[in-house]
Amino acid sequence: MAQIAPKAEWKEDWIKDTVYLHMFPRSFAKSVVNISPFAIKLELWLRLNKIPFKVIDYNGMGSKGQSPFIFFNEKEIPDSNFIIEYLSEYFRVDPYPGLSITDQAVARAFLKMIEENTSWAIFIYRYVEQPDEFAEYFMPKAPANVKAALQKSLQVSVRDRAQKHGIGRHSSEEVHKIGCDDIKAISAFLANKKYLMGDNPTLVDCSLFGLMTQIVCVPMKYPERKIIMEECQNIKDFVDRIINLYWSEWHEQCEF
């Protein structure tokens, strides 16, 4: 099995008001900068808002058993949404700048759909249904026995969590119909806008980018990827736009 990381702790040389973003090492992924869409979401949000941060490659989980998590001014904060809520208040940043209360409600609804519905179709495909296909893009430099053991553990864990969530009780065809219908809804709402809610990126775009990179940038045979490439090109354009504007090191960071 993969070595378990020691408990993360604040370091004496860490700088006040700098976010120490703990996430799975970039080397765990191929064709994308991180295997966690939530880590990508959080890193993009920090970039958009010019909040000082340092990435800490960490092969482990935070206090809630989640990755990513942060240390900030000696405090550990888990869960990307609670992290963003905390930092928004601290730095006086609006996660939805310029949006009306109604539009903020729409954005929140899309964020929750992406993170608590659409994402399951992707996780089920790569961890439960097609681990052999995903093996090419997961921990590419790890010893085969270590990778196989971790993939087996993830397969059992994700299957169990999906069952408890409810989506895992559906057939594969039904799960991916849900995922593809979500993709079509996102594409229809995005239309020809630069970002989901208009001309400026907001928190929901960070969430959308985090998950869509797992599909667009990783050439697996996701049913959802086929829909994007054949029917929802505006989502691929959205991903490319954000990489070009806000993540100049993207392709370099994918080279593991």
Name the domain boundary from 35, 56, 91. Answer: 91
What does the pLDDT read at residue 2? Answer: 43
> Is 186 among the domain residues?
yes
Residue 52's contacts (CB-CB under 8 Å, 6 or more residues apart) are 15, 17, 18, 19
pLDDT tens-digit series, residues 14-50: 999 999 999 999 999 999 999 999 999 999 999 999 9
Domain boundary among 62, 91, 120: 91
Which residue, of 64, 91, 118, is where some domain finishes?
A: 91
Count of domains forming the chain: 2
Chain segment 119-138, per-residue pLDDT in tens: 999 999 999 999 999 999 99
pLDDT of residue 255: 73
pTM for the whole thing?
0.95
CB neighbours of residue 84 within 10 Å:
21
Q: Please check whether residues 216 and 238 belong to one and the same domain.
A: yes
Asked if the structure places residue 1 within a domain, the reply is no
Claim to verify: residue 168 and residue 46 sit in the same structural domain: no
Report residue 26 as tokens: 């970039």
- Looking at residue 26, what DSSP letter applies? G
pLDDT 10s digits, 166-186: 999 999 999 999 999 999 999
**Distance, CA of 205 to CA of 44 (rounded, Å):** 9
28 found inside a domain = yes
11 lies in some domain: no
- The predicted-structure confidence for 223-245, as pLDDT tens digits, reads as follows 999 999 999 999 999 999 999 99
Residue 100 above 90 pLDDT?
A: yes
Q: Residue 216 maps to which CATH number?
A: 1.20.1050.10
Residue-range definition of the domain harbouring residue 232: 101-253
Cα(192)–Cα(218) distance, integer angstroms: 24
229 and 110 co-located in one domain: yes
Q: How far from chain centre, in Å, is Cα 7? A: 23
Quote the pLDDT of residue 1: 36
* Residue 197 and residue 107 in contact, taking contact as beta carbons nearer than 8 Å: yes
